[in-house]
Structure 1
């Protein structure tokens, strides 16, 4: 009689119980930061918006590193990395196009999308919103 033994190296990735949370708090935070970014853009121009968004990107990098190091659920780790890449992409677009526009040139990256640079803070904060949801749902 043969006994079936599970492979020794097989790692089981089970989904942890998602904690209930209220995402409306994140929406309010998200809305406030985007409104502040647009006000800063109107008052001081793109260099100030780049500095403001750089703070949030640094926070996002730190939170993503924390999730990768401490969370066992692979979906949470992968989603955090995707949110980081998503936000970094739009931060690069904001930085390059914002500096070019501030110096009197046109947008360098995708100039056909007229308002892409001014909408970039919204997309950057989308990545931060996603990581905040991951932390609240699957955090230890």
Structure 2
């Protein structure tokens, strides 16, 4: 009798958390979208997505959680075929943090002048003032307004 993979699901406050009990990749909704997300980064400059359902929030402010949870990918490698693998590896590396904190999202930002793509864990903050404060606390020069599609400078200058 052939074995069938088993997927264990648990309901959490933020929605459905899918744990691959068969050793499969974490967060299949996100995994199925990686090719499109790489294209989105190149076209629009980035994304913020909930890996649990593969959807991007439409309002609030995306604030990266800081350098300790970020990963830098060279843009040429990311866009020349390595992007899907980089996203999958980042998601696998951060899966435990994402499971432990259902408020965390995954983001990517294309630093065109620096020719790099920054992958980050992201907090969604509803209030602009609170988001700017969180950005400064996480040493971020800007945050992203999801409703307007605009970067918002935090005033952080890199001096601390």
Q: Same fold judged by TM-score > 0.5?
A: no
In proportion to residue count, which structure has more strand? 2
Higher relative contact order (CA 8 A, sep 6+): 1
Instruction: Give TM-score scaled by structure 2 length.
Output: 0.27
Bigger Cα Rg: 1
TM-score by length of 1: 0.30
